[in-house]
Amino acid sequence: MYKAKSEIIIEFESEDFAKTIFTSIKPEEVDIPSKRTNITLSLNGTKIYLLINAKDTTALRAAMNSYLRLIKVAQNILETVK
């Protein structure tokens, strides 16, 4: 049973930018390194939705940090190659 939950919505400047970032992090949803979390990613226009369910706050924090870092790295790479 999951005790901790977080929903993060990140909006980007364009649908193409959001889609590219979403496509780059989507494989991580399947390859979750922890059995203590469940991650759901979705895309709607310029927004990426990240829903994290975790068995405890430590697992929730770790998953949030990991996914936000992945998104930031993808964003930095896209901005560099623009």
60-78 confidence digits (pLDDT tens): 999 999 999 999 999 999 9
Query: Looking at residue 32, what is its pLDDT?
Result: 66
Number of neighbours of residue 60 by Cβ within 10 angstroms: 20
- Nearest-5° angle of CA 5, CA 51, CA 32? 95
Q: pLDDT tens for residues 29-53? A: 877 667 899 999 999 999 999 999 9
17 Cβ neighbours under 8 A, 6+ residues apart? 46, 78
Distance CA 1, CA 70 (A): 26
Which phi-psi region, left, alpha or beta, contains residue 70 (left: φ > 0; alpha: ψ -120 to 50)? Answer: alpha
Query: Looking at residue 2, what is its pLDDT?
Result: 86
Model confidence, pTM: 0.89
72 Cβ neighbours under 8 A, 6+ residues apart? none
Give the residue, 70 or 82, on which the prediction is more confident: 70
